Amino acid sequence: MAALLTTLQRRPDAAFAAFLLFHFCLWTVLPTALYLNLPLDLIEALNYGREWQLGYDKLPPLPWWLVEIVYRLVGHDVAFYALAQLAVVTAFLLVWAMARRLVGPIGALLAVLIVDGLHYFNFTAAKFNHDVIQLPLWALAGYAYWRALRERRLIHWIALGAAVGLAVWAKYFVVVLALPLALFVVLDRQARASFATPGPYLAATVALVIMAPHLVWLVQNDFLPFAYAEARAAPARGIADHLVHPLQFAADQLGFLVPTLLIAAPLFWRQKPAAEPAVGAFDRRIATLLAFGPMATVLALSAVTGRGTIAMWGYPLWLFLGVWLVLMAPRAALERVGAMIGLWALVTAGFAITFLINYAVLPYYDGRQRAVLYPGQQLGSEISVRFRAATGHAPAYVIGSMWTGGNVGHYAPERPRVLIDGDSRRAPWIDLADLKSKGAVVVWSNGFSADPPAWSRALMRFAPDAEVQPSFTLPSQRGPGSTEIGWAIVRPAK
């Protein structure tokens, strides 16, 4: 352990770089090898992002734009999984940069290893989406906020404003970060002194300028994505929900934190309390705010409104928990770096093995259909060939659910544009006159993510002359399952 500590102290940056490289490679290779079909979040991104809208009916556009850019530059699935890990390691780098100044290079490494025990940063981060893209933006906001309050340099206030402004384009959940940051500046005596400088006003201005185009779009479209958020958060059914819903979210997060707390345990196990804090009180208050402020805000909002929460909303909440834990630990505890690295390796191996079993072994036994094993490529090829044979034309449009239609939209060689659920309100960028002129293929799936009953009525309303074709069955790409595909043709206008 002494030799390991000496090596880490001699080349701490190299050790951290090795960790980042290992994390990036492991969690890029695993989904590339085991996912035989893109997951729903990426299918959705590829069908939304190609339209380059300032807003959509579900969520802000930033991650969908990024996926489309990566698709055009690389065009291979591995790039999407690499993009997800690039977001994760960028967040880690920013957390490391803050921790290194507070607790030194060894403490900074441990701070990142601790939070890597959360599945948000590895197992589930493989599916690049709005949750994953929050990570580097929240990390930048936290780092810039800390630097801005301590050093009051305008560059850090600008970075803070840019991070918050971009985070609005990523996910509206950033409000639970912005609220505690703003309250701290108002309530903390030392932080409040920043109001005498142009910094906070500059940060607010930068944030507003960056988010302005999307805010204008929201106003012009009656805040359309908020209906999606409203539908996802369970309504309050009684006074008990004001207590039950926040407690449920807290319990979910605590369960997710078990591996993280295991990695951190040597910092406190049989350790005497520190004689004096390693850093000043102001730094400790900021670290505490970043570690727990957003979580406290989620719980408070849930308690006040009684609305339910989604466990996976916790993605960015714990970025600075490792920093706080290392700050609170006795300095002598950092000598247990070997034990903590061993526990991190054990947790990482557990996640990797579970990932392997879930996608390479269990599909042969549990009968559960998995999106990443869906026969999307076969579906796209079959629909393309059959539509061409029936009409003599390449499919320019597909009408279907985001999943079934989206798989055709991505995997068919022609990449037909998707009229989601046959509803022009969900895809207002589709020119219906052009669709009727060029024709369309209609698809639905009975075996996976079945279309809702309203789908048939939407089809008949939009395309009453659609010619229903004999269905066909495609086998799952791994395991015994299969999917029955229904389809119909809207012939091109003559």
Summarize pLDDT for 117-147 with one digit per residue, the tens.
999 999 999 999 999 999 999 999 999 999 9
Q: Which two tokens stand for residue 192?
A: 């409040």
Give the model confidence (pLDDT) of 308-363 as tens digits. 888 899 999 999 999 999 999 887 667 788 889 999 999 999 999 999 999 999 99
| Position 449 pLDDT exceeds 50 | no
Q: Which domains does the chain have, with CATH numbers?
A: 2-361 (no CATH), 374-490 (3.40.190)
The whole-angstrom separation of Cα 65 and Cα 75 is 14
The whole-angstrom separation of Cα 373 and Cα 163 is 36
Give the model confidence (pLDDT) of 57-84 as tens digits. 989 999 999 999 999 999 899 999 999 9
| Position 471 pLDDT exceeds 90 | no
CA nearest 163: which of 136, 196, 191? 136
Give the model confidence (pLDDT) of 20-44 as tens digits. 999 999 999 999 999 999 999 999 9
Which DSSP string corresponds to 167-213? HHHH-GGGHHHHHHHHHHHHH-HHHHGGGGSSHHHHHHHHHHHHHHH
Q: Are 71 and 430 in contact (CB under 8 A)?
A: no
Where does the pLDDT of residue 277 fall: very low under 50, low under 70, confident under 90, or very high at 90 and above? low
Write down the pLDDT at residue 466. 81
Tell me the CA end-to-end span of the chain in Å, nearest whole number: 78
Average pLDDT value for the chain? 91
Instruction: Write down the pTM of the prediction.
Output: 0.93
Where does the pLDDT of residue 456 fall: very low under 50, low under 70, confident under 90, or very high at 90 and above? low
Residue 422: in which H helix or E strand, if any? Answer: none
**Is 2 or 432 the better-scoring residue by pLDDT?**
432
Q: What mean pLDDT comes out for the span 465-491?
A: 88
Q: What mean pLDDT comes out for the span 425-432?
A: 91
User: Quick one: what percent of the chain has pLDDT higher than 90?
Assistant: 72
Give the model confidence (pLDDT) of 83-107 as tens digits. 999 999 999 999 999 999 999 988 9
- Of 146-150, 157-161, 478-482, give the lowest mean pLDDT range: 478-482
CB atoms inside a 10 Å sphere around CB 53: 17
| Position 461 pLDDT exceeds 70 | no
| Position 459 pLDDT exceeds 70 | no
Write down the pLDDT at residue 314. 93
The whole-angstrom separation of Cα 231 and Cα 229 is 5
| Position 493 pLDDT exceeds 90 | no
Q: What mean pLDDT comes out for the span 364-377?
A: 90
Give the model confidence (pLDDT) of 373-404 as tens digits. 999 999 999 999 999 999 999 999 999 989 99
